[in-house]
Amino acid sequence: MAGGPPKALQSTGPYSLRDMPHPLAGSSSEEAVGGDSTPSPDLLMARSFGDKDLILPNGGTPAGTSSPASSSSLLNRLQLDDDIDGETRDLFVTVDDPKKHVCTMETYITYRITTKSTRAEFDLPEYSVRRRYQDFDWLRSKLEESQPTHLIPPLPEKFVVKGVVDRFSEEFVETRRKALDKFLKRITDHPVLSFNEHFNVFLTAKDLNAYKKQGMALLTRVGESVKHVTGGYKLRSRPLEFAAIGEYLDTFALKLGTIDRIAQRIIKEEIEYLVELREYGPVYSTWSALEGELAEPLEGVSACIGNCSTALEELTDDMTEDFLPVLREYILYSDSMKSVLKKRDQVQAEYEAKLEAVALRKEDRPKVPADVEKCQDRMECFNADLKADMERWQNNKRQDFRQLLMGLADKNIQYYEKCLMAWESIIPLLQEKQETK
């Protein structure tokens, strides 16, 4: 960067996220995106977090179409691509085969991590290692240290309330396995994180503990600068686009938190209702032993309530195992994004403090020191990486929630269809008695 007067804090201004090249990348990374007009920053953020969320990929389903003939056709109408960006995948990671280990000091679960890749960074085409939760936690910490400008996917919460959730139950272990599998797949799909040295070691090292003790890689220079204390300097203001991201994340987390609390109450009430149904149905069965002509209809009602109980239990399990984990993952995701925003603000504050120090020098045309130029490069790098990750996160969110809500609708339709069929089965029994009379 050539010397000259201090530069003011740069912003992408009216440009779209896709129009912004990485400041440290070559000209080959500058890709223009078609468009006849350039929106203002305010319109840009509104469109990014508003209208864009309503666009259906792959054609979608136009408004006004008739409802499907059966619940299974709902999922058939939702076509989701495995690869959002249409990139050619060369790294595949799966988490499966949880095993319980009982030692003298502790009991814990390990998971098998299977990796298949054609990348040159891997010596073998396939690896299989076992990892426990604390290993995943170590990986995430290392990614945060070495890639501070990027959004690191969240892990499922480690601690559970003792006596309320059994962390060794099959249901809990399976839910955690799915979350850990998604965590690694998020990293695998990332164009930068997937090439991280620590990620490679996590996937391939037979003895990960030995690597942890060695401490091969220290914090990167960018990471060190993020932790730099700016001497109490207060950030003037975030650029409009980042301020809009912060406001969006606050509202998004608030809405998801509310939905999560209400959904948990609904599940609790459904479980209580399920207990009542299981006591309610057998009463009709015992009553039928006292009746003559009513015996068969009463038995039918008992069986009907039993079928409804089974259907409700399946619906509750789906809510607990499939719906709630996605909500909680994205609540944690918003916290991760806020953390990256805070780090970006620290770099901007450092840059502004250095600019002021240069401006206070009694020189006609003060030369910008190299450390100020480097700080500006770090800030621009932060801005580009953060916006790219935000766009990727928005794409993932739209796809995940479209699939989640479609699944929720499908499960509810199946539940009500089963209850309807159960109650309709009683009608012929009652009609037969009326015809006999």
All structural domains of the chain: 87-213 (3.30.1520.10), 236-430 (1.20.1270.60)
Instruction: Output the pTM of the full model.
Output: 0.72
pLDDT score recorded for residue 89: 81
- What are residue 335's phi and psi, to 5 degrees? -65, -40
Instruction: Give the whole-angstrom CA distance, residue 22 versus residue 37.
Output: 22
Going by pLDDT thresholds of 50, 70 and 90, the confidence category of residue 18 is very low
Query: What DSSP state is assigned to residue 105?
Result: S
pLDDT score recorded for residue 134: 93
Q: Is the pLDDT of residue 310 over 90?
A: yes
Q: Is the pLDDT of residue 83 over 70?
A: no
Please state at what angle helix 370-424 crosses helix 295-318, rounded to 10 degrees. Answer: 170
pLDDT score recorded for residue 362: 57
How many CB atoms are closer than 10 A to CB 397?
16
Q: Rounded to whole angstroms, what are the CA distances from 137 to 141, 251, 365?
A: 6, 27, 50
- Residue pair 408/325 in contact (Cβ under 8 Å)? The answer is no
How much is the average pLDDT of 379-383? 91
Going by pLDDT thresholds of 50, 70 and 90, the confidence category of residue 432 is low
Q: Is the pLDDT of residue 57 over 90?
A: no
134 against 6, higher pLDDT: 134
How much is the average pLDDT of 126-152? 94
> CB within 8 A of 4, min separation 6: which ones?
367, 368
Q: Is the pLDDT of residue 32 over 70?
A: no
Instruction: Give the whole-angstrom CA distance, residue 47 versus residue 130.
Output: 44
Going by pLDDT thresholds of 50, 70 and 90, the confidence category of residue 341 is very high
> CB within 8 A of 311, min separation 6: which ones?
414, 415, 418, 419, 422
In tens, the pLDDT along 36-53 reads 444 444 434 444 444 444
How many CB atoms are closer than 10 A to CB 52?
13
How much is the average pLDDT of 15-44? 42
The runs of H, that is alpha helices, within 121-239 are 133-146, 170-188, 197-204, 208-214, 221-226
Q: Is the pLDDT of residue 223 over 80?
A: no
In tens, the pLDDT along 154-184 reads 998 875 544 446 778 888 899 899 999 999 9
How much is the average pLDDT of 202-213? 88
How much is the average pLDDT of 242-267? 94
Q: Rounded to whole angstroms, what are the CA distances from 67 to 53, 205, 315?
A: 22, 51, 21
Q: Which residue has the tokens 């608030």?
A: 254
- What are residue 98's phi and psi, to 5 degrees? -65, 140
In tens, the pLDDT along 91-135 reads 999 999 999 998 888 889 999 999 999 999 999 999 999 999 999
Going by pLDDT thresholds of 50, 70 and 90, the confidence category of residue 190 is very high
Q: Is the pLDDT of residue 385 over 60?
A: yes
Tell me which of 64-68, 70-74, 128-132, 420-424 is least confident: 64-68
3-class DSSP assignment, residue 104: coil
Amino acid sitting at position 115: T
